[in-house]
A and B are shown apart, each in its own frame.
Chain A
Amino acid sequence: MNWSLIVKTAIRDSRKDRSKLILFMSSIILGVAALVAINSFNDNLVRDIENQSKSLLGADMTVGGNKPLNEDLVASLDSLSTERTSELELFSMSYLPSKDESQFVRLKGLTGNFPYYGKLITEPLEAANTYKSELAALVDDGMMLQYGLEVGDSIKLGEVMFPITGRLMNAFGSVDAGASFAPSVYIGGQNIEATNLIQPGSLVNYKEYVKVFKDIDLDDWEDVRRKKFRNEAQRITTVEDQRQNLQEAFSNLNNFLNIVALISLLLACIGVASSVLIYVKTKVQSIAILRCLGMKSEEAFMVYFLQIISLGTLSVIFGVALGSIIQVILPLVLKGFLPYEVNMSISPSAMIKGFVMGELITSLFAIGPLLGIRRVTPLRALRISDDTQQRDPLQWLIYGLIFITITGFLYTLTENVLDAITFSAGILFAFLILYGVAKSVTWAVRKFFPSSASFVVRQGLSNLYRPNNQTLTLIVSIGLGTGILTLLFILQGLILNNVEDMGVGNQPNMIVFGIEADQKEEIEDLTKSFEMPIIQHVPVVTMELAAWKGKSKKDWLSDTTRTSSRWAINREARVSYQEEMPVDDVLLEGTYTGVHDGGDSIFISLSERYSNGLDVEVGDELVWNVQGAMITTYVGSIREINFRKMESRFFILFPIGVLEDAPQFLILVTKSPEKQTTADFRNAVVKSMPNASVIDLGSILATLNDIITKVSYVIKFMAGFSILIGLIVLISSLFLSKFQRIRESVLLRTLGAVEKKIYRINAVEYASLGILSALTGISLAVSGSYLLAKFVFELDFNLSWWPIFGIFIFIVALTVIIGLWNSRDVVKRSPLEILRNV
């Protein structure tokens, strides 16, 4: 091959019509910019939210138990941590001298820089930094309110009087409601001993908060260590575990962001393909001439391949830069409107991804059609013939490669081969549908041509099937574009509904424990008098598992081959009974028995996790020790518990008619509108029901709510941003279509068609294309989002048709307007000028 000539020709050929080139390039630039901007937003926001979720725990992992950690464990922790904080936690009575009151508190003594993620928020702020190094206590804000305490008052813990230096405004640790019985008090770890509260036999929790080296996979470590820690009776909690509680919100966010990333790739493909395909078309004649003059077909191929690749690379680089700039600038511009501040930084991984994918799709989309014109006969120079192009078998290879590229990209997102293949098959399917629609349109219009229609309609419609028509390219790109926009719109609506459901606005924030059965009415009246809702009010019976599957607990524990986990065996069962299964739960196996009919067998319902932990199935026998009385039951059903609501969730549910006479207390779940109400309510409850305790979830919910707000913001933002970018890419690819129709329009114009006629002819063509492709795209999006909602997001699917109808109208109008805009060029300039330039 004559490389110097190839390069020379490629360069020379690109010099003329720079403006046309820029239009082609802009489409690629926008496509790649979409890819980069969307993915770097993704990276930034995901990182932000990940940090946020770490702030639930304050560390990557906690290890704890009721004995100090042994040396082996400490060594093991040292191997993976950069920093640790030790915590001693105990429950104790505290005395408030200024009020002469006593209150049971959860006392935490901390040494180390905990929290590693998030911030301990106190009032005043600096108290959080200083309390560990001096004699000071931070006291739960709710408790301060309840007793009317001020910063500067004292609290006596054990034998030591501590000045209160700050109010604790938020909390770390478990989101599990039952865990926080008592208000928290934080002191420096070195002061714990002096209180003399740690005595032999006193119940102390030892906990290590661990910040782990970045590259360590905690899950692996956990699997290995868990067995060991089990025998040590240590409990490990990782961020991952903590996140389980928010799992639904997070997995939906993740899936959604994956889909958005996939869409960014599709946008890049639309941008690149629409530009490259049309560009190659404009070069067919030049290739034929070069071939006439004796250029080999590989050389002609190379000239344009090189040209497209270099222009493509240039565009890709611009696109990467533009995408990164948008991503950094946009948050600054929008600053005032954002619900929180996101630290935007350039994401190198998104840039690299964007560059590699941009290059790959540009080359693949260039090779495809260029292979096709490799076979252009030089005869095209003699006569503009519409030689039915033979498909080059190599082209199939290229299409295969495009498929593999998309699958590969998806794999980097989902890290699951099957998912990646399923999704790309979905895209392929959408593409085939659009292809099929385009083909049947050209066929149908030709077959049922309205020969008696007006000249304008006939011209416009015949544009759909004439040689050199753009039906296929436009239907595919408008159809995919519309599909993407609609899909994003539908999905974000569904997910937002679901996520916002979890937000604080809808969450209970107070739990009253230990209400006696005969105080049922009293507590309900009290709650109502505070104008608070009764969200849940259920009985609780505590019991212990005595035997199951025909073997006693003692026998099981000494059985080395047992398959049930220790936590499930030792768990003190807090059991409730109710007639209906909780509405949010999902029945997995068996049937839920609501009422015990008085027969021999009592059928209870277990949560999936608990039944797995115990390794029991529907039909297995379980014997309970209810404060001395033995009750034999059978597993009647297994449920999946929905953790979306901050209500008490019961692993074990009995039917009514069994436990009514057993010793029991009630739990009431309610929602307080503000902190003062919480404090007042707490006072009132403590006064009239000294046995009951009120748990304020407000501080934990505050952390949770922050996350929920961010998740929904991220979803809204990414959907909006992608829709906007998608529109721009779609519009730019529509603008490219002008090169297809110029010749026809100019000829008509030369033949004397008036301006209006040309506009109308083009309007007919673009309207038919717009209507058909928007309809197809919307149908694809509706069925696609249905499948995604059902199988990926596990959400109920519902649609409001009006906005979708709006999208339809919008897309059709957009198509027609751009079509007319394109023909404006023809109408405004002299036909001669254009004929010479085409």
Chain B
Amino acid sequence: MILEAKSIFKKYKGIHKELTVLDDINFSVNKGEIVSIVGPSGSGKTTVLGLCAGLDTPTSGSISLAGSMISSLTENEKAEVRNRKVGFIFQNFQLLPTLTALENVMIPLELQGRAKGAKEKAEQLLERVGLGGRSHHYPSQLSGGEQQRVSLARAFSNDPEILFADEPTGNLDEETGSIVEGLLFELNKEKQTTLIIVTHDLELANKTDRIIKLKGGKIVSDQRIKATAQI
């Protein structure tokens, strides 16, 4: 098991009363599984993803990620786990605007202290997502689809054990979206990464092994579509 969430609650203090965004979430994900999280906007998908990836701390409950109890680690320890074992793809790309495509892809490797060979690897990955010629361009010089392909390359650059994608195609048109989607699945298959995708897109969800449905901060269904990978 690579990810296990046990009775997760997330509450925000509102101006008048407390807002419960996540209400007793329980699930676990096996290594190599491809899971999609779906649900209406505001149902808590991004929050779940953020908590599982160690970007935030739950109000209560525990999360273990790739062998660490991520919910009880310090910020720096969480950063370490993210850097070594986790990859991210964001709906709004989140490339560093001041760095070139190549440098964006190199960052996770360099953070691991693997400066040697980082450039070659990053170049390969950019080549792989079809942006070999654009490596010295800044994000603002790239289209949305291109930016998302750079962030795909970045997500895979540190050979993560698990990849979190928050609506990776949500900001893209259908055609570009499906190119990014295709690349995501291809790369994932090559690298044998566990993948968790948050999406609106039911078509995309149907291509995954398992769909977790959220509504109002609760899991309303959790169904496997394809044969599960090895435990």
Interface, chain A (partner B; CB < 8 A): 2, 4-5, 8-9, 12-17, 285-286, 289-298, 377-379, 381-383, 836-837
Pull 24 A–B residue pairs with CB atoms less than 8 Å apart, ordered by A. A2-B113, A5-B110, A5-B111, A5-B115, A9-B110, A13-B98, A13-B99, A14-B98, A17-B98, A290-B96, A291-B79, A293-B83, A293-B88, A293-B108, A293-B111, A293-B154, A294-B79, A294-B80, A294-B84, A294-B111, A296-B75, A379-B55, A379-B56, A382-B50
In the docked arrangement, what's the CA distance between A373 and B103, Å? 23
In the docked arrangement, what's the CA distance between A286 and B96, Å? 6
B90 interface contact, C-beta 8 A: yes
Question: Is the beta-carbon distance between B97 and A292 smaller than 8 angstroms?
Answer: no
Contact indicator per residue, chain B 97-118, by CB within 8 Å of chain A (1) or not (0): 1111001000110111101000
In the docked arrangement, what's the CA distance between A293 and B98, Å? 16
What are the 7 closest A-B residue pairs judged by CB atoms, nearest first?
Answer: A294-B83, A294-B82, A836-B140, A16-B98, A378-B55, A13-B98, A296-B76
- Taking CB atoms, residues of chain B closer than 8 Å to A286 are 96-98
In the docked arrangement, what's the CA distance between A382 and B90, Å? 7
Contact indicator per residue, chain B 140-165, by CB within 8 Å of chain A (1) or not (0): 10000000000000100000000000
The number of A-B residue pairs with CB atoms under 8 Å apart is 92
In the docked arrangement, what's the CA distance between A377 and B47, Å? 13
Q: How far apart are A231's CB and chain B's nearest CB, in angstroms?
A: 77
B79's partner among A8, A295, A379 (CB-CB below 8 A) is: A295
Interface, chain B (partner A; CB < 8 A): 46, 49-50, 53, 55-56, 75-76, 79-84, 86, 88, 90, 94-100, 103, 107-108, 110-113, 115, 138-140, 154, 166
Interface of chain A, main secondary structure? helix
- Taking CB atoms, residues of chain B closer than 8 Å to A289 are 94-96
In the docked arrangement, what's the CA distance between A292 and B104, Å? 13
Given A16-B97, A381-B94, A382-B46, do A294 and B86 touch, yes or no (CB 8 Å)? Answer: yes
In the docked arrangement, what's the CA distance between A9 and B103, Å? 9
Given A378-B55, A382-B166, do A294 and B108 touch, yes or no (CB 8 Å)? Answer: yes
Question: Is the beta-carbon distance between B115 and A4 smaller than 8 angstroms?
Answer: yes
Q: How far apart are B79's CB and chain A's nearest CB, in angstroms?
A: 5
- Taking CB atoms, residues of chain A closer than 8 Å to B90 are 381-382
Question: Is the beta-carbon distance between A16 and B138 smaller than 8 angstroms?
Answer: yes
In the docked arrangement, what's the CA distance between A379 and B10, Å? 14
Q: A292-B82, A298-B76 are in contact. List 16 more A-B contacts (CB 8 A).
A: A2-B111, A5-B111, A9-B99, A12-B100, A16-B99, A17-B98, A286-B97, A289-B96, A290-B96, A293-B111, A377-B56, A378-B55, A379-B50, A381-B88, A382-B55, A836-B140
- Taking CB atoms, residues of chain A closer than 8 Å to B94 are 285, 289, 292, 381
- Taking CB atoms, residues of chain B closer than 8 Å to A12 are 98-100, 103
Q: How far apart are A704's CB and chain B's nearest CB, in angstroms?
A: 62
In the docked arrangement, what's the CA distance between A381 and B94, Å? 7
In the docked arrangement, what's the CA distance between A286 and B49, Å? 20
Q: Determine the residue in chain A with the shortest Cβ distance to B103.
A: A12
Question: Is the beta-carbon distance between A293 and B82 smaller than 8 angstroms?
Answer: yes
Q: How far apart are B12's CB and chain A's nearest CB, in angstroms?
A: 10
Q: Determine the residue in chain B with the shortest Cβ distance to A16.
A: B98
In the docked arrangement, what's the CA distance between A736 and B83, Å? 35
In the docked arrangement, what's the CA distance between A291 and B83, Å? 9
Give the most central of A14, A296, A837: most B CB within 10 Å.
A296
- Taking CB atoms, residues of chain A closer than 8 Å to B115 are 4-5
In the docked arrangement, what's the CA distance between A527 and B111, Å? 93
Give the most central of B46, B82, B84: most A CB within 10 Å.
B82
In the docked arrangement, what's the CA distance between A836 and B55, Å? 26
In the docked arrangement, what's the CA distance between A17 and B99, Å? 11
Question: Is the beta-carbon distance between B55 and A8 smaller than 8 angstroms?
Answer: no
- Taking CB atoms, residues of chain B closer than 8 Å to A16 are 97-99, 138
Give the most central of A15, A17, A294, A379: most B CB within 10 Å.
A294
In the docked arrangement, what's the CA distance between A298 and B74, Å? 13
Q: How far apart are A10's CB and chain B's nearest CB, in angstroms?
A: 10
In the docked arrangement, what's the CA distance between A13 and B139, Å? 13
A297's partner among B76, B86, B103 (CB-CB below 8 A) is: B76
- Taking CB atoms, residues of chain B closer than 8 Å to A8 are 110
Q: Determine the residue in chain B with the shortest Cβ distance to A297.
A: B75
In the docked arrangement, what's the CA distance between A78 and B98, Å? 69
In the docked arrangement, what's the CA distance between A723 and B98, Å? 37
- Taking CB atoms, residues of chain A closer than 8 Å to B108 are 293-294
Q: Determine the residue in chain B with the shortest Cβ distance to A13.
A: B98
- Taking CB atoms, residues of chain A closer than 8 Å to B55 are 292, 377-379, 381-382
- Taking CB atoms, residues of chain B closer than 8 Å to A15 are 98
In the docked arrangement, what's the CA distance between A489 and B142, Å? 53
Q: Determine the residue in chain B with the shortest Cβ distance to A293.
A: B108
- Taking CB atoms, residues of chain A closer than 8 Å to B86 are 294
Given A294-B80, A295-B79, do A383 and B99 touch, yes or no (CB 8 Å)? Answer: no
- Taking CB atoms, residues of chain A closer than 8 Å to B95 are 289
